[in-house]
Structures are given as C-alpha cells and as structure tokens.
Amino acid sequence: MTAGSSHVLAGLASDSAAKLWGVIEAVGGFLAIMAIIFFVAGRATGRLQRPLTVVICLGPAIVLLLIGLVAPAIRTMYLSLHGADAFGPDVHYVGMKNYSWAFTDPTTRATLIRTVLWLVIVPTAATGFGLLVALLVDRMRQGLQSLAKSLIFMPTAISFVGASVIWKYVYNYTDPRQPQIGLLSEVAIKLGWKHPPNWLLTSPVNTFLLMIIMVWIQTGFAMVVLGAALKSIPDEIIEAARMDGASGYRLFRTVQMPMIRTTLVVVVTTIMIATLKVFDIVYTMTGGNFSTDVLSNDMYTQIFTQFNYGRGSALAVILFMAVMPLVGYNVMRMRRDRAAR
C-alpha cells in the first residue's frame, strides 16, 4: 500500500469517527433531555400529574405533526394559488391558474394521464403476481417454499435507487451487431428480434419498463400480506369445500376470494398510494425525459429545477387529492372494525 492511499484511508477514518460522534451526540442529547424532563416531571404529584403526563408525552408528537404536516399542507394549498416565486417579496395571487395549467398544458396533462396509467397497472399487476405466488406456494416442498418466498420478498428491502441501478443494467442498449450487455436485448435478439430498440429512450415502451421495476418491488409485499390472509382461513372451511368437490380455480373464486376480499382491497390501496408517490425510479432512470414523467417527479422538477413554487404546489395538492380517498377508505374501515369489536 502506498503512502498516498494510507493517507486517504486515515482521512476517511477520522472523518467517519467525527460523523459517528455526531450521531452519539445527537441521540445522547435527545435521551438526556428526555431523562431530565422525566426526572423533573416525576416529582410532580397529585392533580398536576395527569395533565403534565399528557403534555410531556403527547406534546412533542403533536407539535411536530403540526409543524411538519398540518401547517405545511395548508401552506402548500395557499402557495398553489400564487405565482412562481414563493420565497420572494412579490408573491401574487393567481387564483386557479396553476390548476388550469396542470390540466390544459399538453405535457403536464400527458404526465397526469401517465400517472393514472401507473395507478391502474402497477397495483393490479403487483397484487396479481403476489396473489398467484401466495396461492401456489403452499403446494410446494417446505424448503423450496421458504426460499421462493424470501427471494420474491427481497426486492421490498431494496431502495428505489438501488432497484433503478439494477434495472438500468437489464435495459442496457448496445448496438445489435455487438455482443449484448443488457439482458432484455439479449433475450429479444435470441427470440429473433433483429434490432431491438433503445428501450429507455423509446416511448411508450419505456413507461411500461419503469412500471415493471415498481411491480418487482411491490409484489413481495402483496404476497406476504395476502399469504397471511389466506392462512387465516380456517382449514376446516377449505377441507369442507374440497369434500364438496371444489378445487383449484373454483375453490379460489367461491371460498378463498370472498374471505380475503377486505385484505385484497387494503393491499391494492396501499400499493396505489406508494405508486402515486413514486419519484425515485423515474428520477433515476430517465429524469422524466423521453415521455416517462409522472406527477411526483414533475412536482419535484417544477419546484427545484424550474423554481416555480406555485405550479409545484398545485401538483402537490393534486397528489394530495388523489391520495385522500384511498387513505380515507382505510381510516373508515379501521373505525368500523374498531366499533365492531
């Protein structure tokens, strides 16, 4: 090892030590403050104790939620009715102009339509594959079963950026006369397609290729949750149905499907919410170019590249409006279940 590289390593080591010390300081400081508050408040007795507990325990969470989510949501709605420059002194009211821009500007309208397409295809495909595996995997040998489940579930732990790097490589384009590097092109050529396109630059196929990444990530989630729901169906019911001669698809449609319907809806809505917010995949793979842009990436571009806070905020509000019924449904279902308990 040369002197130069050991110098570099020493620099890295001291740098890392400084960062780790920063972490210890932050976490230690936080815990110390908590300990002091708990110690002081622990002295309080009698009538004061209860309200004090509520303030100490609930206060920080509520304050952070107000600052981090409630106030910003209101502020974003306000900004969406204003011009581009939200930081400057000349913020001016423009009414619904940002919204009418979002729905009439051809590029942005195409982005919205594309987002709807994501919203329909990704949850359907991911839930479908997840359900398929959950149904079929029971009929395999134990060892293989858990291996298959773990491997299909694995992408859930991978970051969208990491997944994008993985798939960028699968979609790699090389001149068809050269040896291929991308798996997709190789398979296409082997199947007899002489000149496969440059996948990521070719619309509309590129949008679907990006969707595959999201499906790849979300299928494991659907599989695990639906698998648990299928397992919670009492064995006696399945057995009785089998005695009556139901099997395969018929068993699924008439017995299993109705019993997991609630879970199925939850899985679909959860994946829909994740899909609506998806940003990293598009940002990393194409940057929203070549007709692949989606709502959440467009919002980021408007704010941080175009510096148009008004339009960016309007897109954020549209995203909010789209998420609301999905989460609202889940909240209502939960309240109903609680009441039924």
Partner 1 sequence: MSIIPTTVPVPELGDDHRSTAPVKHVRKAFSNPMASLVVVLLTVLWTVPVLGLLITSLRPRLDSATSGWWTFFAHPHVTLSNYNTVLFHGGYNVSSGLFPYIMNSIAITIPATIIPIFLASMAAYTLAWVRFRGSDTIFFIIFGLQVVPLQMSLVPLLQLYSHGAHIGTVTVIPNLHLKGSLAEVWLSHTMFSLPLAVFLLHNFISQLPESLIEAARMDGASHLRVYRSIVLPLSMPAIASFAIFQFLWVWNDLLVALTFAAKTTASQPLTAQLQQLTGSFGSHLELLTAGGFVSIVIPMIVFFALQRYFVRGMLAGSVKG
Please list every residue from 77 through 106 that binds partner 1, using CB under 8 A: 79, 86-87
Q: Least distance in Å: CB of 107 to partner 1? A: 19
Burial of 172 (0-12, 13-18, 19+ CB in 10 A): middle
Kindly state whether residue 199 participates in binding partner 1, applying the rule CB under 8 A: no
- Minimum CB separation of residue 49 from partner 1 in Å reads 6
What is the spatial distance between Cα 53 and Cα 43, in angstroms, rounded to a whole number? Answer: 12
| Joined tokens for residue 227 | 């698998």
Q: Which is nearer to partner 1, 167 or 207 (CB)?
A: 167
Left (φ > 0), alpha (ψ -120 to 50) or beta: where does 37 sit? Answer: alpha
> 10 Å Cβ neighbour count for 173?
17
Report 16-55 residues binding partner 1 (CB under 8 A): 16, 19-20, 22-23, 26-27, 30-31, 34, 38, 41-42, 44-45, 49-50, 53-54
Q: Which of 211, 255, 283, 292 binds partner 1 (CB under 8 A)?
A: 283
Site string for partner 1, 148-187 (x = CB under 8 A): xxxxxxxxxxxxxxx-xxxxxxx-x-----xxxxxx--x-
10 binds partner 1 per the rule CB under 8 A:
no
**Which residues, numbered 214-233, are part of the site for partner 1 (CB under 8 A)?**
216, 219, 221, 224-225, 227-229, 231-233
Say which DSSP state 93 is in: B
Cβ proximity of 211 and 122 under 8 Å: yes
Binding flag, residue 191, partner 1 (CB under 8 A): no
Query: Amino acid identity, residue 321?
Result: M
For the four alpha carbons of 180, 184, 187 and 193, in that order, the dihedral sign comes to negative
Burial of 279 (0-12, 13-18, 19+ CB in 10 A): middle
Is residue 333 near partner 1 by the rule CB under 8 A?
A: yes
> Please, what is the minimum distance in Å from the beta carbon of residue 103 to partner 1?
18
Kindly write out the interface string for residues 119-148 of this chain, putting x where it contacts partner 1 by CB under 8 A and - elsewhere: ----------x--xx--xxxxx-x-xxxxx
CA distance 73 to 316: 9
Quick one: CA torsion of 231, 232, 234, 237, rounded to 10 degrees?
-70
What stretches of 180-268 adopt beta strand conformation (E)?
A: none
Name the minimum Å distance from CB 126 to partner 1.
12
Q: Give me the least distance between CB of 265 and partner 1, in Å please.
A: 11
Supply φ then ψ for residue 5, to 5 degrees.
-75, -30
In the complex, the smallest distance separating the C-beta of residue 140 from partner 1, rounded to whole angstroms, is: 5
Rounded to a whole number of angstroms, the minimum distance from the CB of residue 64 to partner 1 is 5
> Which residues 241-260 are close enough to bind partner 1 by CB under 8 A?
242, 247-248, 259-260
Indicate the residue among 207 and 227 with the shorter CB distance to partner 1: 227
- The residue count for binding partner 1 (CB under 8 A) is 141
Shortest Cβ 242–partner 1 spacing (Å): 6
The distance of closest approach from Cβ of residue 305 to partner 1 in the complex, given in angstroms and rounded to an integer, is 12
Is position 334 an interface residue for partner 1 (rule: CB under 8 A)? yes
Nearest to 220 by CA among 159, 133, 160, 143: 133
Q: Pick the closer one to partner 1 by CB: 199 or 309.
A: 309
The answer to whether residues 294 and 282 touch, using CB atoms and an 8 Å cutoff, is yes
